[in-house]
């Protein structure tokens, strides 16, 4: 009895495995591939990805917590609903590396792969398999079918070959085709899109970014300007090298507004050797060792002031001292609007330094000066050497130093993205090529011809008519 029960149990297990692996799983695989290859689903995925990408363009990415609190306050949300809690809770500050965005890219990749497997590949296999047809009715029922009297099959073959067709003749039957690459190209389009998606995901997961405000004449180590985007991010080999800001300059429009700003940068390796140097500007970055440095911003960093103080008595000579005063941003503070920087010069250097002269500037061209009581004292151009007396001190303004705003970024997936776009351009063009096929059979007194194409049907009809009209006519 036990043997019989064990045998029955084993038979049931075998039957279940057979049902699972031979029926249920293949059926589920077909249903899943069919669902993923749905065109409406793919269009929906693209629209959602485009929407999140647009949102990532509107909302600045990878800024600090304080930056979002300041620029997206809850009291006055952008578009009526976008504030910093929403941005931070949903990860909209790093949208391109969030799980849902990467999941959408993966889902779109799965849809493209499923479409290739279930639709494009079968079409290619059918198109690549050719066979001779020998039934007159079948040829005449095609899109283009005609019986050419007093014609020979060899003449038709030669005319088609002269027009770029691949021609095969077997006895009294002929098959010719051209443009087969047009059937394979859609698979290439999908492959190129997959390369692009993979590159975007790789850049999001493996890339690093950061921003720096670097004073003119100073330097920084590249690793200090890069922040890991995810656990998959890794420092580039050039991370231990430093970037030296050799010079920072600004071009102005005739109305005084900033036209363009430039940074002369040098990349110096740990041994002190300069490995790269370039003057960058907006949209003209410096690339070195897998790191791209963009010019994004500028600021005023310091102001040189020469102060002449009067002597203590008639016989005491005046003294002169030069100071380099750091400048701080006053934007949004104390009623100041727009980009503006200021610094402070004490009146009494040896005693109470709570009273002093304020120097304010919006750019490198001029500096406004206010006395210790806040009254406007005048405006001077830096390096004009024209003195101004404020609170008993004679001031001569010197050089104004700037800081360059740099954004550093690594994109390890860029080669994949470029390869994907290049492949997409080529395969998109090739997919427009028509796949044309012509069959023919030789009868006693005529040649029966049939043909079809998947696109450009009018052009195919005209071409085939020209070929048939060119076939020599033989008179018995």
Is residue 328 included in any domain, yes or no?
yes
- pLDDT number for residue 102: 87
Q: Which of 91, 120, 149 is the last residue of a domain?
A: 120
- Judgement on whether residues 175 and 242 belong to the same structural domain of the protein: no
What kind and span of H or E run contains 460?
Answer: helix 457-470
- Judgement on whether residues 100 and 134 belong to the same structural domain of the protein: no
- Better-predicted residue by pLDDT, 31 or 249: 249
CA angle at residue 127 from 121 to 133, to 5 degrees?
Answer: 150
Q: If you average pLDDT over residues 166-195, what whole number do you get?
A: 91
- pLDDT number for residue 273: 93
Among 11-20, 211-220, 404-413, the range scoring the smallest mean pLDDT is: 11-20
DSSP code for 225: G
Q: If you average pLDDT over residues 443-456, what whole number do you get?
A: 91
Is residue 184 included in any domain, yes or no?
no
Is residue 392 included in any domain, yes or no?
yes
- Better-predicted residue by pLDDT, 60 or 266: 266
- pLDDT number for residue 385: 86
For 265-287, the pLDDT digits (tens) are: 999 999 999 999 999 998 899 99
What is the token pair recorded at 239?
A: 């991370």
- Judgement on whether residues 221 and 273 belong to the same structural domain of the protein: yes
Average predicted confidence (pLDDT) for the chain: 86
Locus of tokens 């997959």: 194
For 372-384, the pLDDT digits (tens) are: 888 999 999 987 8
1: confidence class by pLDDT, cuts 50, 70, 90: very low
pLDDT of 16 higher than 80 = no
- Judgement on whether residues 87 and 107 belong to the same structural domain of the protein: yes
Domains: count for the chain: 4
- Judgement on whether residues 417 and 291 belong to the same structural domain of the protein: yes
Domain housing 43: 27-120
pTM, entire model: 0.66
Is residue 277 included in any domain, yes or no?
yes
Q: If you average pLDDT over residues 295-314, what whole number do you get?
A: 83
Q: Give the number of other Cβ atoms within 10 Å of residue 169's Cβ.
A: 16
pLDDT of 72 higher than 80 = yes
Is residue 20 included in any domain, yes or no?
no
Q: If you average pLDDT over residues 72-92, what whole number do you get?
A: 86
- Judgement on whether residues 413 and 277 belong to the same structural domain of the protein: yes
Closest to 457 measured CA to CA, from 439, 438, 436:
436
pLDDT of 107 higher than 70 = yes
- Judgement on whether residues 217 and 84 belong to the same structural domain of the protein: no
For 97-106, the pLDDT digits (tens) are: 888 998 999 9
Tell me how far apart the 2 most distant CA atoms of the chain are, in Å.
136
Distance, CA of 248 to CA of 265 (rounded, Å): 9
DSSP code for 94: G
Is residue 54 included in any domain, yes or no?
yes
Q: If you average pLDDT over residues 220-238, what whole number do you get?
A: 85
Q: Which of 75, 99, 120 is the last residue of a domain?
A: 120
- Judgement on whether residues 288 and 417 belong to the same structural domain of the protein: yes
3-state secondary structure of 131: coil
Question: How does DSSP assign 313-358, residue by residue?
Answer: STTSPPEEEEEEEE-EE-TTSTT--SS-EEEEEES-SSS--SSEEE
- Better-predicted residue by pLDDT, 130 or 143: 143
pLDDT of 258 higher than 90 = no
- Judgement on whether residues 262 and 281 belong to the same structural domain of the protein: yes
Distance, CA of 227 to CA of 269 (rounded, Å): 20
- pLDDT number for residue 70: 81
Distant-in-sequence, close-in-space partners of 17: CB < 8 Å, separation ≥ 6: none
Is residue 19 included in any domain, yes or no?
no
- pLDDT number for residue 200: 85
- Judgement on whether residues 412 and 295 belong to the same structural domain of the protein: yes
313: confidence class by pLDDT, cuts 50, 70, 90: low
- Judgement on whether residues 439 and 371 belong to the same structural domain of the protein: no
pLDDT of 309 higher than 90 = no
Distance, CA of 83 to CA of 68 (rounded, Å): 8
For 315-333, the pLDDT digits (tens) are: 556 778 899 999 999 887 7
- Judgement on whether residues 146 and 88 belong to the same structural domain of the protein: no
32: confidence class by pLDDT, cuts 50, 70, 90: confident
Is residue 190 included in any domain, yes or no?
no
The CATH number of residue 157's host domain is 3.30.310.80
Q: Give the number of other Cβ atoms within 10 Å of residue 214's Cβ.
A: 22
């Amino acid at each position: 009895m036990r043997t019989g029960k064990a045998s029955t149990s084993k038979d049931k297990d075998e039957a279940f495995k057979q049902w699972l692996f031979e029926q249920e799983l293949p059926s589920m695989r077909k249903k899943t591939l069919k669902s993923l290859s749905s065109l409406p689903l793919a269009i929906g995925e693209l629209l959602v990805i485009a929407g999140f990408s647009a949102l990532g363009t509107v909302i600045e990415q990878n800024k600090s917590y304080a930056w979002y609190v300041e620029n997206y306050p809850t009291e006055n949300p952008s578009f009526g609903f976008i504030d910093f809690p929403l941005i931070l809770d949903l990860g909209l500050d790093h949208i391109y590396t969030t799980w849902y965005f990467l999941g959408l890219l993966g889902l779109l990749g799965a849809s493209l792969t499923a479409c290739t497997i279930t639709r494009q590949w079968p079409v290619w296999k059918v198109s690549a398999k050719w066979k001779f047809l020998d039934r007159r009715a079948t040829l005449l029922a095609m899109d283009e079918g005609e019986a050419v009297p007093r014609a020979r099959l060899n003449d038709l073959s030669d005319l088609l070959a002269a027009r770029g067709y691949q021609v095969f003749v077997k006895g009294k039957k002929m098959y010719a085709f051209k443009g087969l690459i047009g059937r394979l190209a859609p698979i290439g389009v999908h492959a190129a899109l997959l390369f692009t998606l993979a590159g975007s995901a790789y850049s999001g997961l493996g890339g690093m970014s950061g921003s720096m405000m670097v004073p003119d004449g100073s330097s920084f180590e590249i690793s200090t300007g890069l922040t890991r985007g995810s656990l998959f991010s890794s420092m580039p080999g050039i991370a231990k090298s430093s970037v030296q800001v050799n010079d920072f300059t600004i071009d102005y429009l005739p109305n005084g507004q900033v036209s363009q700003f430039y940074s002369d940068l040098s990349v110096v390796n740990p041994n002190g050797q300069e490995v790269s140097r370039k003057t960058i500007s907006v949209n003209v970055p410096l690339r070195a060792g897998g790191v791209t440095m963009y010019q994004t911003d500028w600021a005023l960093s310091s102001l040189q002031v020469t102060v002449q103080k009067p002597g203590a008595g008639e016989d005491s000579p005046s003294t002169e001292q030069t100071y380099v005063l750091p400048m701080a941003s006053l934007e949004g503070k104390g009623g100041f609007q727009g980009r503006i920087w200021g610094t402070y010069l004490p009146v009494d250097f040896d005693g109470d330094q709570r009273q002093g002269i304020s120097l304010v500037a919006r750019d490198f061209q001029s500096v406004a000066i206010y006395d210790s009581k806040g009254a406007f004292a005048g405006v001077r151009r830096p390096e004009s050497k024209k003195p101004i007396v404020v609170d008993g001190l004679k001031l001569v303004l010197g050089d104004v130093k700037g800081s360059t705003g740099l954004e550093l970024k690594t994109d390890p997936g860029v080669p994949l993205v470029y390869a994907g776009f290049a492949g997409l351009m080529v395969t998109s063009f090739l997919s427009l090529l028509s796949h044309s096929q012509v069959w023919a059979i030789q009868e006693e007194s005529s040649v029966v011809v049939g043909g079809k194409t998947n696109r450009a049907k009018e052009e195919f009809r005209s071409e085939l008519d020209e070929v048939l009209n060119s076939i020599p006519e033989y008179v018995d």
